[in-house]
Amino acid sequence: MIAACGTLPADEIGDSYPAGDAVDAPSDDASPTFETGWPSEAQGRVAPEICEQLACGSQSCTDGICNALAWRTQLSGAYEGELGGVAMTPEGDVVIAGSFAGVIKGHQGPVESAGAWDVFVAKLAWTGELMWLERFGGEGSQRASSLSIGDDGQIVIGGELEGSMTAGDVALKSAAHEDGFVLVLDEAGLPRWGQTFGDTVAESGDLASGEHQTVSDVLVLPNGYIGVAGTFYGSMRMGEDSYVAEDRDGFVAFMKPDGTFRWSRALTGPGDARVTALAADADSRLIAAGAYTGELTVEETHAADGGEDAFVVAYDTSGTEAWLESFGGPGHDRAASVAVESDGSIVVAGTFADSLSFGGASGAVVPGEGGGDGFLARLRGDDGSYVSARAFGDGMHQSPAAVSVSLEGRVAVVGWFSGTIDFGMGAMTADEDDAFVAVFGEGGFDTGWSHRYGPGADQHARAATHRSDGALVVAGEYVRAIDLGWGPLGSDDLKRKIFVAALTP
């Protein structure tokens, strides 16, 4: 059991490092590494309301710094990497998925991509040790953009492929240009089945050069059903349903555990629409979030306030729209991630420019600082109406990428930023693009703690998930180095490397 804010039981600590001591950064040629123990100081902020109750290893939250790093690791090798997702297994281990070009050092030796980009899936023990790493690829380019794990341990990956991808006995091939795909693995990483979302030249006629389907998010429900969301241009077939998009349109689908479709829906309009994120509530309703320009038609038509507006839509188990809420302003506003709290409330993270206006009786308007600011919003689960929101940023850009809610109700948001960012716990300033993590207390966006992770070059936190004991796992990419609290993880080249870190509550 992990205690609050970094106080680990003695038998779970491993080697201990006093505050301020750094652990040597492994070279890019080293085998996959991990460390556990107390962190050294990194720039962070903690809200004063909870400082009196918490202590972080040998550091006190009353000093304004609350470091709670349990372990961190990287995938080593001569490769370029993109992190697609992170998820917890039922046993509390960590699985990551993404894409790479080059050579990753796996648990049994080097793993080399076959084409331009291949998909990887890796499982880590809770201590950070690499248990296994699998590659799936072939001719062309294959990218994994999302990951989810079911209660039975099955692993579901979503993304896009151009060309062919071989995963054990499962062979997937794109019909023309990029097709979306879903690939299902067992708990040991062995492929069960896969499915592509595209169309053939014969069926769709003269394909436009931009024909493209991609799966942006997947979600395994407790009953084994799979939610799938993404974006398509051109034609697409999902089971018995066929769709044609003259511009870019979004889609949401509900699949049975065997891969057959329960239902699918297209989100269309005269402009562009994209679905970027999925969540589900206790009644197995799918909650989809994204962005659109012009008008968005689901069951009714909704008009954008400006260039691009964010939206959240809920579907019941039959695929009927329960509600849709759109919000935005005169600039470009996008929802990047969505999660559901224990009381059914919806938490949305994204970016906006100028201002963010919520409809309905609230009439709430959240002002921005220009550039591209981040936001967190809470909506009612029964009708999507506004509850509260918080903006963070300055004249530079801030990019929330993922939001996760713990069983205790703590809301975590991760991403990256340039300039200065303040979550209400004190300002943090980036070197260039720095990763950030912010955690808020139950029911509000006012108390908690935040960190930024540099130094130099770029560090992007792209995905996050909570363990059942409240620990937070964050994964992403870095260029050259990232200091998560014990001194930097490092690389000798300018290619993006994959990192994973576990933070105690």
DSSP 165-208: EEETTEEEE-SSSBEEEEEEE-TTS-EEEEEEE---HHHH-S--
DSSP 236-264: EEETTEEEEEEEEEEEEEEE-TTS-EEEE
**Which whole-number Å values give the CA distances from 143 to 87, 163, 255, 384, in the listed order?**
17, 11, 21, 32
pLDDT in tens, 345-354: 999 999 998 8
Residue 344 lies in a domain: yes
Strands 55-56 and 59-60: antiparallel
Q: How many CB atoms are located within 10 Å of the residue 63 CB?
A: 12
Residue 7 lies in a domain: no
* Lowest model confidence (mean pLDDT) among 8-12, 22-26, 410-414: 8-12
Q: What is the per-residue pLDDT for 362? A: 66
Grade residue 361 by pLDDT with cuts at 50, 70 and 90: low
What is the domain range of residue 181? 64-200+211-503
pLDDT in tens, 226-256: 999 999 988 888 888 888 888 889 999 999 9
Q: What is the per-residue pLDDT for 210? A: 53
Residue 362 lies in a domain: yes
In sequence order, what are the residues at sequence separation of 6 or more whose Cβ sits closer than 8 angstroms to the Cβ of residue 314? 281, 285, 286, 287, 288, 321, 322, 323, 324, 381, 384
HSE of 12 in the Cβ direction (CA atoms, 13 Å)? 14
Dist. CA 82–CA 60, nearest whole Å: 35
The rounded Cα 118 to chain-centroid distance in angstroms is 19
More confident residue, 323 or 5: 323
In sequence order, what are the residues at sequence separation of 6 or more whose Cβ sits closer than 8 angstroms to the Cβ of residue 267? 249, 250, 251, 252, 273, 275, 288, 290, 292, 296, 297, 298, 313
Q: How many CB atoms are located within 10 Å of the residue 28 CB?
A: 18
Dist. CA 17–CA 176, nearest whole Å: 54
More confident residue, 117 or 370: 117
Instruction: Give me the mean pLDDT over the 58-75 stretch.
Output: 60
Instruction: Give me the mean pLDDT over the 472-501 stretch.
Output: 91
Residue 295 lies in a domain: yes
Q: How many CB atoms are located within 10 Å of the residue 357 CB?
A: 21
Peptide bond into 39 cis (omega under 30): no
Dist. CA 76–CA 122, nearest whole Å: 12
Residue 13 lies in a domain: no
Residue 47 lies in a domain: no
Q: What is the per-residue pLDDT for 8? A: 30
Q: Using the 8-state DSSP alphabet, how is residue 360 labeled?
A: G
CATH number for the domain that contains residue 248? 2.120.10.30
Model pTM score: 0.87
- For the cut 60, the answer to whether the pLDDT of residue 60 exceeds it is no
The rounded Cα 324 to chain-centroid distance in angstroms is 22
Of 209-218, 479-488, 491-500, highest mean pLDDT: 491-500
**What total number of domains does the chain contain?**
1
Residue 42 lies in a domain: no
DSSP 385-407: -EEEEEEE--SSBEEEEEEEE-T
- For the cut 90, the answer to whether the pLDDT of residue 493 exceeds it is no
Query: Which amino acid is present at 172?
Result: L
Among candidate residues 17, 67, 2, 22, the one with its CA nearest the CA of residue 487: 22
Query: Which amino acid is present at 4?
Result: A
Q: What is the per-residue pLDDT for 318? A: 95
Helix (H, G, I), strand (E, B) or coil at 455: coil
**Which whole-number Å values give the CA distances from 162 to 166, 181, 369, in the listed order?**
12, 10, 40
More confident residue, 291 or 18: 291
**Count of helix runs (H) and strand runs (E) in the chain:** 3, 42
Helix (H, G, I), strand (E, B) or coil at 380: coil
Grade residue 360 by pLDDT with cuts at 50, 70 and 90: low
- For the cut 80, the answer to whether the pLDDT of residue 316 exceeds it is yes
Match 């060309």 to its residue by tokens. Answer: 163
Residue 139 lies in a domain: yes
Helix (H, G, I), strand (E, B) or coil at 124: strand
Dist. CA 412–CA 504, nearest whole Å: 12
- For the cut 60, the answer to whether the pLDDT of residue 428 exceeds it is yes
Dist. CA 174–CA 178, nearest whole Å: 6
Q: What is the per-residue pLDDT for 41? A: 36
Q: What is the per-residue pLDDT for 45? A: 52
Q: What is the per-residue pLDDT for 21? A: 29
**Is the distance from CB of 449 to CB of 45 less than 8 angstroms?**
yes
Q: What is the per-residue pLDDT for 381? A: 97
Helix (H, G, I), strand (E, B) or coil at 361: helix
- For the cut 70, the answer to whether the pLDDT of residue 104 exceeds it is yes
